[in-house]
Amino acid sequence: MAESRIKILPDDLINKIAAGEVVERPASVVKELLENSIDAGATRISIEVSGAGGKLIRVSDNGSGLTGEEIPLALERHSTSKIGNLDDLFNIKTLGFRGEALPSIAGVSKIEILSCREGRGNQLQSEGGKTIKLETAGCPVGTTIIVKDLFFNTPARRKFLKSPAVELGHINDIVSKYVLACPGIAFELISEGKPLVKSTGSGKLSEAIMAVYGLGLMQELIEGQLEFKSGKVYGFISRPTLSRMDKSYENFFVNRRYVRNFLLNRALEEAYRTLIPGGRYPVAVLFIDIDPKLIDVNVHPTKREIKFQSTSEVMQAVSSMVTKTLSEIIEAVSWDKGVEAGSRDWKLDSKDQLPISSFEAGIPEIQVTSIQPFIPIYQYKQTYIISTDGKDLVLIDQHAAHERILYDKLSQKAEAIHSQPLLTPENLELGPQETAILQENVEYLKSLGFELEEFGSSSYLIRAVPALSIKSPAQQLLRDILAELSELGKTAQLEIKQENIRKLIACHSAIKAGDKLSIEEMNRLIRDLYATENPATCPHGRPTLIRLTEEEFKKRFGR
Ligand SMILES: Nc1ncnc2c1ncn2[C@@H]1O[C@H](COP(=O)(O)OP(=O)(O)O)[C@@H](O)[C@H]1O
Ligand SMILES: [Mg+2]
């Protein structure tokens, strides 16, 4: 009989294979050791590395520690103190539970575990997963794990490592995520004796954010929270005036575990879509606390990804939380100032010219109110409205402001935008591609208020346009819409498509730089702008207004 070709693999080989999944690079070791220290209830964790972690990683904590019997067990495969049965697996409250990390790390390094529990200390040394020494040793309460010469016995792995700067960058990233996740723990990351990250452990999330991103960025964030059916979303998000070139500042923690889930990113970005310029991303440190039974954390070997039982519910919660928080500050900043200024009984005379120069009798007085938080003073270069609430000077970009107003109007009645007949219908000559796109979107264009009549094979008559006092010729607007529709193609989500078209119509209809405005028109613009949900930015995310405070003037005049 032929010898069986199928064999059970020896343990050391199994551990090396498992290490391939769990231990990709030095940063993965740091991650696993940190998670263990956090699970052990530590309040102080220090991480020291040299050779970007390839030579040495030392993680010390003041957590519960391990007994002399437990230390060798912890190095066994599938040994864990964190779960005992299947029910536990679906109700996980710790970061670890797979019992894979320590044996995997030990399999590909020289590891030393020094731990003290209940006053007795022990030390274990192992090389490539084989225990060399286990003896009693004096040490403070807690655990120190030293990992030396990572991948010393798997040279192929070693070759995959990037430059020390890149590897150290990964370590820095992972430590930073845990600083954010656990504001109650004092972390310290030291490389070649130099401190890289240090947090206070005060328990305040704002201090943890400062430790990672600095004071300047922290000051641009606002705090918010929202409860939803299965949990709570809370944390800090950026004001619309702050954005970044990439998504790496979008942090999500689910039950205090750092996770990556592009649907969460999408939900967050959704809420900022018309507030920050395209291609830029918000900053967020968001926590989602949810019943552990409603998530599955066992879908990825490094537990970086998780599954929600109801992803849409969580996405909705994130989006609503952000929208609500942003609308609160935008209102708070703008409305409050208006109301406050109004209550000081600040008055300004006005007529259809510069109010400042009009001191004749009988001119109606205008007062700052919550409905009209600023009074226009002067239209500068027929482009900007210089206005004031009696306290600050506010410069308004008339085009951006009007765009915001029209965009909101279009968004509110997306289904039924009124139509306005043209006095003289305009002729529209189209190429074959444009004709095809127009035909595909005839119903949609109708819902926007366009009335089109076929006039030969590639000609149309535009009889009516959206009732928004469109500034540019109707055929130009329609051509731009067709171009946009063709650009977006069939793949774009309907909602994004409609949003872009609304932006386009708003842009074509808004008053332009160079349009002269009367005082009454400026007043109406300000009132309408403040009736929108996001008066501070135009639909493309650019600011509609700039506020200059008295403090700034004082500073610049050296008062
Ligand atoms: N820093 C530590 N302090 C206390 N116990 C620890 C520490 N690190 C590891 N352990 C113990 O070792 C066990 C195995 O660790 P690990 O292989 O990471 O598996 P897991 O974290 O999935 O349980 C843990 O369940 C825990 O009991
Ligand atoms: Mg672990």
The larger pLDDT score, comparing residue 499 to residue 488, is at 499
DSSP code for 62: -
The larger pLDDT score, comparing residue 126 to residue 390, is at 126
Phi, psi of 553 (to 5 degrees): -60, -45
Which residue's alpha carbon is nearest to atom 1 within ligand 1? 37
Residue 94 has pLDDT above 90, yes or no: no
Ligand closest to the CA atom of residue 100: 1
Residue pair 186/200 in contact (Cβ under 8 Å)? The answer is yes
Write the DSSP assignment of 265-328 as a string of letters: HHHHHHHHTTTS-TT-B--EEEEEEE-GGGEE-TTSTTS---EETTHHHHHHHHHHHHHHHHHH
Residues with CB under 6 A from ligand 1: 32, 36-37, 40, 61, 63-66, 74, 79-82, 96-102, 143
Spell out the domains of the chain, with CATH numbers in brackets. Answer: 11-198 (3.30.565.10), 218-328 (3.30.230.10), 344-404+513-557 (3.30.1540.20), 418-467+472-509 (3.30.1370.100)
With vertex at residue 272, the alpha carbon angle to CA 253 and CA 524, rounded to the nearest 5 degrees, is 150
The larger pLDDT score, comparing residue 2 to residue 238, is at 238
Residue 336 has pLDDT above 70, yes or no: no
pLDDT tens digits, one per residue of 20-52: 677 889 999 999 999 999 999 999 999 999 999
The residues, any chain, with a CB within 8 Å of residue 224's CB and separated by 6 or more, are: 234, 235, 236, 237, 321, 322, 324, 325, 328
Residue pair 12/130 in contact (Cβ under 8 Å)? The answer is yes
Q: Are strands 284-290 and 250-254 parallel, antiparallel or unpaired?
A: parallel
The Å distance, Cα 5 to ligand 1 centre, comes to 36
Confidence (pLDDT) at 413: 63
The Å distance, Cα 252 to ligand 1 centre, comes to 24
Banded model confidence at residue 532, pLDDT cuts 50, 70, 90: confident
Q: For residue 83, which atom of ligand 1 is closest to its CA?
A: 23
Ligand closest to the CA atom of residue 145: 1
The Å distance, Cα 171 to ligand 1 centre, comes to 20
What average pLDDT does the segment 351-373 reach? 51
Confidence (pLDDT) at 103: 92
Q: For residue 61, which atom of ligand 1 is closest to its CA?
A: 1
Question: Shortest CA distance to 49 belongs to which of 197, 196, 149, 192?
Answer: 192
Confidence (pLDDT) at 490: 65
Banded model confidence at residue 369, pLDDT cuts 50, 70, 90: confident
User: What percentage of the chain's residues is helix, strand, coil (to nearest 5)?
Assistant: 40, 25, 35
| Ligand 1 pocket mutation, candidates 30, 39, 93, 147, criterion most atoms within 8 A of CB | 39
What average pLDDT does the segment 98-116 reach? 93
Burial of 495 (0-12, 13-18, 19+ CB in 10 A): exposed
What average pLDDT does the segment 382-395 reach? 88
β partners of residue 388? 375, 393
The Å distance, Cα 154 to ligand 1 centre, comes to 24
Confidence (pLDDT) at 362: 37
| Ligand 1 pocket mutation, candidates 57, 59, 61, 80, criterion most atoms within 8 A of CB | 80
The Å distance, Cα 202 to ligand 2 centre, comes to 25
What average pLDDT does the segment 133-140 reach? 91
DSSP code for 177: H
Banded model confidence at residue 343, pLDDT cuts 50, 70, 90: very low
| Ligand 1 pocket mutation, candidates 46, 61, 102, criterion most atoms within 8 A of CB | 102
* The residue to which tokens 């998780």 are assigned: 306
Encoded amino acid at 85, one letter = N
What's the CA gap between 152 and 156, in Å, rounded?
Answer: 10
Which residue's alpha carbon is nearest to atom 11 within ligand 1? 74
Q: Are strands 186-191 and 44-50 parallel, antiparallel or unpaired?
A: parallel
Ligand closest to the CA atom of residue 99: 1
Residue pair 469/508 in contact (Cβ under 8 Å)? The answer is no
| Ligand 1 pocket mutation, candidates 14, 32, 36, criterion most atoms within 8 A of CB | 36
pLDDT tens digits, one per residue of 398-418: 999 999 998 888 887 655 677
What's the CA gap between 386 and 153, in Å, rounded?
Answer: 71
Q: For residue 145, which atom of ligand 1 is closest to its CA?
A: 1
Confidence (pLDDT) at 491: 63
The Å distance, Cα 138 to ligand 1 centre, comes to 21
The highest-confidence range among 98-107, 200-209, 323-332, by mean pLDDT, is: 200-209
Cα torsion angle, 180, 182, 188, 191, sign: negative
The Å distance, Cα 290 to ligand 1 centre, comes to 24
Encoded amino acid at 112, one letter = E
What's the CA gap between 267 and 478, in Å, rounded?
Answer: 31
pTM of the prediction? 0.67
Q: For residue 79, which atom of ligand 1 is closest to its CA?
A: 14
The highest-confidence range among 45-49, 391-395, 457-461, 505-509, by mean pLDDT, is: 45-49
Encoded amino acid at 186, one letter = A
Q: In what order do the strands lie in the sheet with 393-397?
A: 375-380, 384-388, 393-397, 545-548
The Å distance, Cα 180 to ligand 1 centre, comes to 22
What average pLDDT does the segment 494-507 reach? 84
Burial of 244 (0-12, 13-18, 19+ CB in 10 A): middle
The Å distance, Cα 427 to ligand 1 centre, comes to 75
Banded model confidence at residue 60, pLDDT cuts 50, 70, 90: very high
Q: For residue 97, which atom of ligand 1 is closest to its CA?
A: 22
What's CA 401's distance to the chain center, in Å?
26
| E strands, 3-109, in order | 44-50, 56-61
Residue 516 has which token pair?
């002269």
Confidence (pLDDT) at 246: 84
Confidence (pLDDT) at 280: 83
Percentage of the chain beyond pLDDT 70 is 90
The larger pLDDT score, comparing residue 294 to residue 244, is at 294
Residue 19 has pLDDT above 70, yes or no: no
The Å distance, Cα 102 to ligand 2 centre, comes to 7
Banded model confidence at residue 268, pLDDT cuts 50, 70, 90: very high
Instruction: Kindly report the average pLDDT of the chain as a whole number.
Output: 85
Confidence (pLDDT) at 279: 77
Which residue's alpha carbon is nearest to atom 7 within ligand 1? 36
Which residue's alpha carbon is nearest to atom 21 within ligand 1? 96
